[in-house]
Amino acid sequence: MKIEPLDDRIVVLPLEAEAKTRGGIVLPDTAKEKPQQGKVISVGPGRVLDTGDRAKPGVKKGDVVVFAKYGGTEIEIDRKEYKILRESDILAIVD
């Protein structure tokens, strides 16, 4: 299934949370933090400006991004969890 976001929305596949701490302790699912990084799957055309033009999105498909912890909407498609975020919920692009 293909997802086409509207306006300034972006579809992100969250990266898996770490299963171990740096010290080697294995974390149960209940203790894992929500992931804040993900891979951009699809990008909308951009928000409409007051002039009627569209603003060019700052991210592109394939970018790895850091997003707000509780931002966006979680959806499930084909047994995969995705997040649909507004561009303003994206905090940074990871190189």
The domain that contains 41 carries what CATH number? Answer: 2.30.33.40
pTM for this entry:
0.79
pLDDT of residue 51: 93
Mean local confidence (pLDDT), 24-42: 75
Sequence-ordered list of residues with C-beta below 8 angstroms from that of 95, at least 6 positions apart, any chain: none
Quickly state the pLDDT bin for 20 (edges 50, 70, 90). Answer: low
pLDDT of residue 54: 92
- 49 by Cβ neighbours in 10 Å (0-12 / 13-18 / 19+) ranks as exposed
Report whether pLDDT(32) > 60. no
Domains: count for the chain? 1
Mean local confidence (pLDDT), 47-59: 92
pLDDT of residue 11: 95
Range of the domain at 41: 9-17+29-94
